[in-house]
Structure 1
């Protein structure tokens, strides 16, 4: 398989399938077409027994800065993007083939959800992970309310969601939010080593292991349903309109006015 689009590059390297977000000019912020391309690649790789691991990565200074809010013209456009979050996250977390996310730079919003939905998340020590929804009057989505809380507990999940603080890759590993962090200069070599290790495992055993751990630790479907319903309502509030205006005008928002 080899597919190159303007925003997603999908390639095969022996037993390794690679899905590379390729919109560095907007920090790999996701639009609907990008999400659909990732789902398509994940689905095809998961159905191919010769692919033993899927590597998910991003070009440039970010893994992904989240949803591409700058590209929308009306709320309905964001409804379409929001509706794609569930299939996107399910295609990663539910893959029978292990998914390795490689996080350098920024992973924010649904971009962070993508990274955490992978079965193994390798992050650079100096990466920046954030749930920056509150600043624009929204709630975490992409399964983040379940993925983050299941990994680091209610208190730290609340802290990330309510403050929007940026957590370093090293701190995220210390908290248990991600699988492993590594120094930037060692990142590429370690990424190759982990991919090779996962690819060498027994495929059926891996598929059953990842499914069992995911089912035991997450109620992802209900979380995604709650998030979609809540976000649908929040997109129509005056606070969201103010948050987006403030973001575009590079000023602090004034909510509840």
Structure 2
């Protein structure tokens, strides 16, 4: 499929998705969100893809927010539809993906852009990146999961401060807060993302999926995370990858996992 707002490339079992609206600082309009949904669901269904790396075109921005021009003149019902549609079709798809998703934050990650990164399983930032949720300066709050996922990562106090002041933070601050996993020089950003993803792709794919489900359960209301962990742990025993992993361990060789 041809995309207008994103670039998609698959290499060495990694699907690279680049938000490609550089002149608009890669802002997320409804067309970009629709294309992201298509690219993500296709990658998750493709057995040739083991993981996904999301980044932004150019050096200035990962994603500098939602396209605010689309919000003008909308009422509460429309606002609810905007947030619900984006969360359901993109942000929750990423957070609950059965394959690892890494955000490579190459520049400004603001508003919906930071929320996109927050939905990813792992975040890596260039040392020049700046992050923030400035929605209250527009009379809004984050609507793509930001109030929830930021709080899970950095805690209630820091989340409240970031959201209510609307201040941006540096990559160094984000690392200290636990918002990002690693900070690199800009030229090392994608290589670092590749390094982490390639390591994960040597592990058992079904076990990676089970780990994501179990960890997400810790933050899901009404779900007992310990019970989910037990169920996912038990399910691994019925996979060919478990048999291969144990055999390889006992035979002192590297396992060859097939995702079965």
TM-score range, shorter chain: 0.7 to 0.9
Q: Which protein, 1 or 2, shows the higher relative CO under an 8 Å CA cutoff with sep ≥ 6?
A: 1
Secondary structure at 2:144 match in 1: coil
Q: 2:64 — aligned with what?
A: 65
> Is the 1:126–1:170 contact (alpha carbons within 8 Å) kept by the matching residues of 2?
no
The alignment partner of 2:218 has SS state of helix
Aligned residue runs from structure 1 range 1-257, under 5 A = 3-60=1-58, 61-71=60-70, 74-75=73-74, 81-87=82-88, 88-219=90-221
Structure 2 unaligned segments of length 5 or more: list them: 222-260
State the shift of 1:195 in Å.
2.3
Q: Deviations over 1:195-251 (max 9, x none)?
A: 2112222101110111111120355xxxxxxxxxxxxxxxxxxxxxxxxxxxxxxxx
Per-residue CA distance 1:104-146 (angstroms, 9 max, x = gap): 1100111111111111111112210000011000011211111
Alpha-carbon RMSD: 2.0
Count of aligned pairs between the two proteins: 219
Residue pair 2:132, 2:169 contacting (<8 A) in 1 also = yes
Q: Distance in 2 between matches of 1:37 and 1:185?
A: 27
Give the SS at the match of 1:217: coil
In structure 1, how many angstroms separate the alpha carbons of the residues matched to 2:191 and 2:209?
A: 25
Report the TM-score, using the length of structure 1 for normalisation: 0.79
> SS in structure 2 opposite 1:6?
coil
CA gap 1:130/1:218 in 2 versus in 1, 3 angstroms: farther
User: Is this contact kept in 2: 1:36–1:84, CA < 8 A?
Assistant: no
Q: Which runs of 5+ in 1 are unaligned?
A: 220-257
If the length of structure 2 is used for normalisation, what is the TM-score? Answer: 0.78
Residues 37-67 of structure 1: CA deviation (Å, up to 9, x unaligned): 1111111111122211111111121111111
Instruction: Tell me the CA shift for residue 5 of structure 1.
Output: 1.9
